[in-house]
A and B are shown apart, each in its own frame.
Chain A
């Protein structure tokens, strides 16, 4: 059960075969939009993207709230949260959850994540926290301890053996502890050896004493520390000169290391594993009060000493070196080239920008580096079928081009279901992107129309306030009515409410349906009034007048008189307008049914007029 807790191995050597997000470093500068973010498609990294999105939003929200000390503390906390997210992601990828076949690419991912965390941590110490001389070294030690962790498994192996001091790795473990400045643990191990070896007790005592007295700490001032350290250093060297440990080569080499002997440290190359470990150990025992600005000098020489002639620096080495040189932009540039994702540089740059470290730097394209990288990252998210929702918030925090990018990308989201359309619509509405809202609604309305869902189509066009489309759909409704003689989707048309006023045709549709309802409820006079109004107020399209007049027929033929004389005259005028408007030729083309209809109407109107004159005359007369 302990396996799950071991640190993932740091396979920095794999770095050579990683391509930059843009393929090569050179064509990336061609402008935003072209690069493809390959890592976006890695399933196991989705957790990273989602979780860091939350941290990112949190960081943007508290933008200007904090000032001074608390601001810095908060930024460090944010940085730690980001690293925590990376670590959480690594833990998830760790063996135990995966089968054998998946192990290979997985461990590669873990090594990339691990390297990202390593770089991030260093940047946090140097840039975000900007540790001063003294605390700086302590932070660097933490950094090394956190990332060079082969020792933990070694320690377990040694301690779980029956006789730890006889284990073949015993001295290796002690050395690692010393190299990492973990004095208490080293002393603890040594005491085991001492108790097993009473003869050399005095020697152990001296070494133990030396290790215990080693001055380290953050409570004292720098000069105090320097003084104490100088004293302790001389003591170490005195023992070396006296040959106190001559009888035990292990202990002698430890003492040499304590005394800051670089050659003794380099002899432990396998245990140091990396040049930056060597750097930190060297600083610990030779220059504990190193100032940030002196770092690059030691870093460079440590790398040269450690790597020697035979190997050239890997991308990771270059990045770390750039960080030690406080070349922020170089760090970001190298990371962009070396990593196959934009996630890292985008978030790191954003954080550093919040630390106000990037202000002077403006690009000759786009607005600034932070925005450029965020746009790239968010564009990558948008190219993903599922992660696009995260991209929206990143675009929101790009002041200059974010909106344009969002507008362009959001229109390309495929809308398979109404639910998804609603979500996209909400994003657009919240940002007052009217053009996109219209376009989405139109797409959905068209889809509904194609599926013969007139009701849905109308709803969508009402939501978009798209009058032209509402007219189109209303015409479809009316056409359907003319063909079938009854309305479909009554529940919708009866409940149009104020949205009826969106287009003239829709108004007519609603009103015409109202006429039918009134007629159905036998409220004839109201129905007649409405029918007439539809024509005289020119709400009804001319093409529909004949239908309306035909609808008037049964009303004219009712036993009781419904249309008043005046209304009858108006109806007659409507009929005349309709027939007069038509050229003779077309009249001939019309079939007999049409002419019969007109004849019938004329007859009915005349009869009604006769009846109404009599009725009105008698009413007035009586």
Chain B
């Protein structure tokens, strides 16, 4: 077996006394309508135990992305040895691989219901290439704490157009949205590691003006709830497909006058969409009317929303990310405006994901090349946290622990109670992080720098 050199990303400075003070501590945009909850997300400076020192979200940190042993130092023998030397350390949990294609999407293969092991296979899609590809990767065994290298390519297949969005339908099938407007279901044959086209809906999204030869409109979002597949596109159309049917079950033409950027299921018959004029819409497929059942919107500035995700347990909580990098938390039971606006990234937030089994954790990635881990689970009763602020040292003691379990941390808009720890997982990145996915203790993300990264000890 050939062991390949894995790239390590050294994160932050382990056990360093450096307080976590981000260059732009996420705070509420107060100028955006006074009656929003003033959820001030703070980066607390926890005197952390050495094993879990989070990386400071500092962009200007001179910490080198890669701390490599120089090749000259080991006289002609390369690679492997220096990996071994640094293998077992707990901080070396990120492995990376340059893949010679810009990654637009990365998704873990879902685990079978009874599985206990962490996920080990994920799929990626590329964009802006002359020949775009859908690839399936495996990450090696973690073994006895020893690191065994970068993701290995299992198989790949050409894809017509940019991969705009991607979702596993089940263990074997992947639904891929293309910039050509087609939606394809690929089947991953695990016995001989090949990919094949299972089903394709050509021009699922198209522009009405079809006198031009290429009338297809980019399909920007796809979501599945086996066997149902919902797609949205630049043409403002919503399609509902069933995996086994040739024609669309339901199509809502002109569902939106602007571009629909993303879609997610709210309940089995209801979906959420976000569009380029800052609206969050609920659509109910039980209704025959081609109108949204509810419209929520950011006031005033019409900042486009790029991504949406729903809290896995509490379905009324929805998170969206916008063009200005703002994270909005909505409570769709009440009001038409977000419960809280948290200023986060400096550029477009491309994806937002609640952790599927640990929804106190949220992950966002952005065009500015950062990936943030939002953690509201900080239990202050165990860790006394000292918030250094303006020279004062305030000790927060355990607060109303009775209520905590009832009121979700994401909707808690009392600033004195709010405790959110935010970590930038990529200190020195420059190019856009286009996609991320979390499952169990594992995180995968892909960038425009043509690299995929896997972090397998997210909560270490």
Q: Do A and B come from one complex?
A: yes
Q: What is A's interface to B at a CB cutoff of 8 Å?
A: 1, 3-5, 7, 43-44, 46-47, 50-51, 53-54, 57-58, 61-62, 65, 77, 80-81, 83-84, 87-88, 91, 96, 121, 142-143, 145-146, 149, 152, 385-386, 389-390, 393, 416-420, 422-423, 426, 430, 450-456, 459, 462, 488-492, 495, 497-499
B75 at interface by CB-CB < 8 Å: yes
Contact present for A389 and B431 (CB under 8 Å):
yes
A57-B207 contact given A5-B77, A497-B300, CB 8 Å threshold: no
A491-B279 contact given A426-B347, A498-B300, CB 8 Å threshold: yes
Contact present for A450 and B128 (CB under 8 Å):
no
Min Cβ gap A523→B in Å is 21
Which listed residue, A1, A81, A451, touches B64 by the CB 8 Å rule? A81
A84-B70 contact given A149-B76, A491-B279, CB 8 Å threshold: yes
Contact present for A455 and B258 (CB under 8 Å):
yes
Contact present for A488 and B257 (CB under 8 Å):
yes
Residue of A nearest to B276 (CB): A459
Which listed residue, B2, B75, B277, B279, touches A145 by the CB 8 Å rule? B75
Min Cβ gap A444→B in Å is 10
Q: Which residues of B contact A393 (CB under 8 A)?
A: 430
- Rounded to whole angstroms, the CA-CA distance of A145 and B73 in the bound complex is 11
A47-B277 contact given A419-B164, A492-B257, A498-B300, CB 8 Å threshold: no
Contact present for A417 and B76 (CB under 8 Å):
no
Min Cβ gap A389→B in Å is 5
A84-B68 contact given A58-B428, A426-B348, A451-B209, CB 8 Å threshold: yes
Contact present for A5 and B79 (CB under 8 Å):
yes
Residue of B nearest to A494 (CB): B295
Min Cβ gap A25→B in Å is 30
- Rounded to whole angstroms, the CA-CA distance of A497 and B300 in the bound complex is 6
- Rounded to whole angstroms, the CA-CA distance of A603 and B431 in the bound complex is 68
Which listed residue, B257, B347, B432, touches A491 by the CB 8 Å rule? B257
Residue of A nearest to B235 (CB): A453
Q: What is B's interface to A at a CB cutoff of 8 Å?
A: 1-5, 7, 60, 62, 64-66, 68, 70-72, 75-80, 98, 100-102, 127-130, 162, 164, 179, 207-209, 212, 217-218, 220, 234-236, 254, 256-259, 276-279, 295, 297, 299-302, 304, 323, 347-348, 367, 428, 430-432, 448-451
Q: Which residues of B contact A91 (CB under 8 A)?
A: 4-5, 78-79
Per DSSP, chain B at the interface is loop
- Rounded to whole angstroms, the CA-CA distance of A450 and B212 in the bound complex is 10
Contact present for A385 and B220 (CB under 8 Å):
no
Which listed residue, B218, B295, B302, touches A417 by the CB 8 Å rule? B218
Min Cβ gap B372→A in Å is 18
- Rounded to whole angstroms, the CA-CA distance of A423 and B448 in the bound complex is 11
Which listed residue, B71, B98, B234, touches A418 by the CB 8 Å rule? B234
Contact present for A65 and B62 (CB under 8 Å):
yes
- Rounded to whole angstroms, the CA-CA distance of A452 and B207 in the bound complex is 7
A385-B79 contact given A58-B428, A80-B72, A423-B432, CB 8 Å threshold: no
Q: Which residues of A contact B451 (CB under 8 A)?
A: 50
Min Cβ gap A152→B in Å is 7
26 contacts between A and B (CB under 8 A): A4-B2, A4-B4, A47-B98, A47-B100, A47-B450, A53-B430, A83-B72, A84-B70, A87-B71, A121-B72, A145-B75, A152-B76, A386-B101, A386-B128, A417-B234, A426-B348, A451-B235, A453-B257, A456-B258, A459-B276, A462-B302, A489-B254, A489-B257, A491-B257, A495-B279, A498-B301
